[in-house]
Amino acid sequence: MDQFLIEGGVPLLGEVATSGAKNSALPALAACLLTDEPVILQRIPPVRDIRTMQKLLEHTGARVDELAGGNVVVQASDITKPEAPYEVVKTMRASSLVLGPLVARTGRARVSLPGGCAIGARPINLHIAALEHLGARVEQSHGYIEARADDGLKGNHIVFERITVTGTEDLMMAAVLAQGETVIQNAAREPEVVDLAEMLVKMGARIEGAGTSTIRIQGVSRLYGAEHRIVPDRIEAGTFLIASAISGGELVVTGCEPAHLEALIAKLQQAGVTIADAGPGALRAKAAGHLRSVDMTTEEHPGFATDLQAQFMALMTQAEGISFITEKIFENRFMHALELCRMGADIRIEGRQAIVAGPRKLTSAQAICSDLRASASLVLAALAAEGETVIDRVYHMDRGYERFDEKLAAVGARIRRVASKQSDEKSMEAAS
């Protein structure tokens, strides 16, 4: 199990590139199950969750070939095992994304309930209810969801009782092969949903309204092979913008989509961070003087992304005043706050609200990652802390960030990845 050793107090300077979006690549890979023809996906980030999804596709019988430059070719000629077993997906929260494609393509699916980060409940019940509206028979037992649609799926009018990104994506993938029209209301509007819709259209699907709260899908009899480039990772880009500010440096973040970052950019500017256009698909971030405290509430897109909440909290520990951070998406997403307090932060949690008082001098400590985005917040805090911080369980970060430590080191961060002593001790015990 690896650790990060980070010596803080060094401003980040230079240029850092954004990878393809993990949260877009996962449903795109799942969508490859909808056709027996080869699908070429470009800009697939080689992170841990992607590796898990690729193993899952191979388990179903699909062939996955990795090409140079982050390109992947998937061909699901025959789906021999329409299932997602626990032992394959236990570390990934996106296992439910294959539920819709498998039922639509084969008429049946057996999918383990999601694993991954312990940040709160995922509304899998919304996926189940939506599939039942399309005519599937769904049962849940022994940690698995089993769905059947022996006569195929049939279009229907679906109203999500709450916005769900994976639910919207899963239902879109099921509906493209359903008979007739499906209307999804209260649909998620995230860029990743739009990206998936564009990919499905390239494959022959008929979809209108992606990016709005109402999506209309006319079912087709089959889909075809296609080539699609994954959108930039807005969460990674946002994390680098915050890293620039918290370190007191100046970074140019390239290969991003500024339109996907408008909510974060507005909050950073309110906090005193200069954000400027640095060319096509590039932003320059620099902390100009003292940071100011800013209140923030996470919301569905186009609001402030919950996946940037932890990183923004780390930044607010260095801002002048009191910041109220409200988490409305996940009920258990403040676990990083305790670790930040161990580094010297002044944070009080009251239900779904964190009250952050700053600026506080952060000092090195032994910290432990609890989930993917919490990992990023601890790394950002360590960049601003005095001394060398040791961060354990960085495999959480490897689930969603491509070579994050290497990218930071390239712009001046004093960060090293090492095997933990505990891992070394276990290796020695196994050898003896």
Contacts of 328 (CB under 8 A, 6+ apart): 297, 298, 299, 306, 352
- 111: nearest Cα among 189, 204, 33: 33
AA letter at 201: V
Q: Which of 32, 117, 256, 369 is catalytic?
A: 117
Distant-in-sequence, close-in-space partners of 16: CB < 8 Å, separation ≥ 6: 240, 251, 252, 253, 254, 407, 408, 410, 411
Residue 117 is among the residues annotated as catalytic for this protein: yes
| Alpha helices in 185-319, H assignment, sequence order | 191-202, 234-247, 262-270, 309-316
37 with 12: CB under 8 angstroms? Answer: no
Residue bearing tokens 């509430």:
297
Q: Are 272 and 289 in contact (CB under 8 A)?
A: yes
- Give, for 253, the enclosing helix (H) or strand (E): strand 250-254
Pairing relationship of beta strands 321-326 and 296-297 according to DSSP bridges: parallel
Backbone angles phi, psi at 180, to 5 degrees: 85, -165
**Tokens at residue 34, please?**
């909808």
Report the catalytic residues.
117
